[in-house]
Structure 1
Amino acid sequence: MALAGAGLKWGVERRLEFIEFRLFWEGGVNRADIIEMFDVSVPQASKDLTLYQERAPHNAIYDKSAKRYIASDAFTPCFLKPDPDGYLSQLRSVADGILDPSQAWLGYFPSFGVAPSPARGIRAEVLRSMLSAVRQYEAVEIRYQSLSSSEPRWRWITPHALGFDGFRWHARAFCGVDRVFKDFLLSRILETRGSKPGEIEAGADTDWQDEVTLEIGPHPGLSDAQKKVIALDYGMREGKTRVKVRRALLYYTLKRLGLDVDPNSRAPQDQQIILLEPLATYSGAYANGATGTANARA
């Protein structure tokens, strides 16, 4: 946190961050905004605005006609680091129904849309059981429906982490049946029953503990101008960027980025990016996931 927030109580500092958020992203803020977001009194909201001006004297100017404080030309963030991903994630959370608009820090919502993903039927009781097992280092018995079986099957697993593949959440766990670490989709866990001490420590899951660094660059078939655009899209420097990923999540990462196929199988404008090193460089981790072997997915 910036030095401007030094010595402040958490609640006060949070409200000053909000004031700065509105000034930066929306150009202005007033007492009503603070009252509505934090449910504080009118005097408290006024006090917060006065304190903000004391701590950041050159950032806000009071507009009498609009009855609000507006960002000055000399505005410099003091309480937060403006984060585009944070702003856009609020828009996405509202669009997905995860966050109620009244809980977002946004006062103005631009017209926006999000490509929808089908909702995953994760049961609250199942997630609660997984979280409890991870937290207390326990094994839990689950009734799981895998694609390799026509009927659901009871089995013991020892989960130690949750993973997200870009579309679905799964539990990373040691499987008591196959005696290996696997990914269990939370939506396929139909119910749980019973628990017992965990069978194996999380540190034994080397695919989860180890990281792989992917080097990505523009497709060589693109023109120089197109390569520059792709470099901007992915924040590349000197024609490449590095992406760190857990080895256990490598399969999903490559698939999501479209790097799981021969880059020459699609037009450069469709493929856009390539791995700068062959898949074999990553010690067979991708091959394990792609073939669906025991240490990949349940």
Structure 2
Amino acid sequence: MVDDAHTQLTRWQRDRRAFIEHRLFWHGSIGLADLMSVMEISRAQASKDINAYIADHPNHLFYDKSERTYVMGSGFTPHYIVIDAAEHLESLSAVANGAPVANADWIIDPPDILRLSLPARGLDPVVVRTVLHACTGKRGLEISYQSMSAETPSRREIEPHALAHDGFRWHARAFCLKDQVFKDFVLSRMMEATPAGPATSAPEQDHAWSETITLQIAAHPDLSAGQRRITELDYGMADGVAELVVRKCMLFYNLKRLGLDTCPATRAPQDQQIVLRNADEVFAAMGRKAP
């Protein structure tokens, strides 16, 4: 957890200490040249930063004379960054694929990384910008929207207040003036978007956006004992259960992504490794019976 005890440090000092900890934890060592290059400071300033860090946090790092560099000590605990393995892997993946990522120059020696090849979504930058402005400005929009139920685009009046991503597509969460309900509009299906008047709805009225439900996920009971242990490790389960808090408007997408939207018996246990323990409660939240 980030330490709040060093508010007397300047922003630049905290940034340099964050870099020291990041490089120490993920790479195991840091040299003065690393600080000089990445943080664009002099050798004297880099040395001063390292020594000040050691003075404030003894046993966090020490100078290895044989390697001629500073290495992580046995007492290392992060004070200026949050160690998040999933976030770091996402950064590594972004760097490997040439995508922009914050503090990309903090990362060195990334391994080769592959991700699924997925088709690019046809997002119109002007439409996305217009939707973003409507969300922040509490404005309505008139859009030309191509739905799956119609052969040609139709005109809609909507009042977007947020965005959501289902793992594949971006949606605008918006009040539909025609249907008088809050629903999702796929951004790539918006042909045009034109600003309209002030929004008449309020985000607080979107109960499916603000209310949550907890999914109780467990290993498939028909797996072997060893397979259940592996599944519990894969999903970070505690006492055989992983709990996932989901907003109700994202419930359908979460269930579909996890393969929990159909009866567990339709797939082999080795393929559908998890089941929903509170299926009746979850599906009732969507006005449906559990499959």
Equivalence for 1:87: 88
Q: C-alpha distance in 2, partners of 1:136/1:101?
A: 27
SS in 1 for 2:149: coil
Cα deviation, residue 178, structure 1: 2.1
Q: Which amino acid aligns with 1:165?
A: D
Residue 46 (1) aligns with residue 47 (2): yes
Gaps of 5+ in 1: 291-298
Residue 7 (1) aligns with residue 1 (2): no
Equivalence for 1:252: 253
Matches within 5 A, 1:232-271: 232-271=233-272
Cα deviation, residue 96, structure 1: 4.5
8 Å CA contact 2:161, 2:173 repeated in 1? yes
Cα deviation, residue 48, structure 1: 2.0
> How many residues were matched structurally?
289
Structural RMSD (CA): 2.3
Residues 105-137 of structure 1: per-residue CA shift (max 9 Å, x gap): 211202222223222222222222122111111
After TM superposition, what 4+ stretches of structure 1 lie above 4 angstroms from structure 2?
none
**How has the CA–CA distance of structure 1 residues 231 and 149 changed in structure 2, closer, same or farther, with 3 Å as cutoff?**
same
Cα deviation, residue 181, structure 1: 1.1
Q: C-alpha distance in 2, partners of 1:281/1:83?
A: 29
8 Å CA contact 1:5, 1:79 repeated in 2? no
* TM-score, structure 2 normalization: 0.90
Q: Which stretch shows the higher mean deviation, 78-87 or 245-254?
A: 78-87
8 Å CA contact 1:145, 1:189 repeated in 2? yes
**How has the CA–CA distance of structure 1 residues 272 and 49 changed in structure 2, closer, same or farther, with 3 Å as cutoff?**
same
**How has the CA–CA distance of structure 1 residues 95 and 110 changed in structure 2, closer, same or farther, with 3 Å as cutoff?**
closer
Residues 22-80 of structure 1: per-residue CA shift (max 9 Å, x gap): 11111111233223333334333333222222222212222345442111233333333
**How has the CA–CA distance of structure 1 residues 127 and 62 changed in structure 2, closer, same or farther, with 3 Å as cutoff?**
same
Equivalence for 1:17: 18
Equivalence for 1:189: 190
Equivalence for 1:33: 34
Equivalence for 1:112: 113
Residues 216-264 of structure 1: per-residue CA shift (max 9 Å, x gap): 1010001112111111111111211211101110000000001011101
Equivalence for 1:272: 273
Matches within 5 A, 1:148-163: 148-163=149-164
**How has the CA–CA distance of structure 1 residues 23 and 149 changed in structure 2, closer, same or farther, with 3 Å as cutoff?**
same
Higher relative contact order (CA 8 A, sep 6+): 1
Q: C-alpha distance in 2, partners of 1:13/1:67?
A: 25
Gaps of 5+ in 2: none
Q: Which amino acid aligns with 1:225?
A: G
Matches within 5 A, 1:87-236: 87-99=88-100, 103-236=104-237
Q: Percent identity at matched positions? A: 40
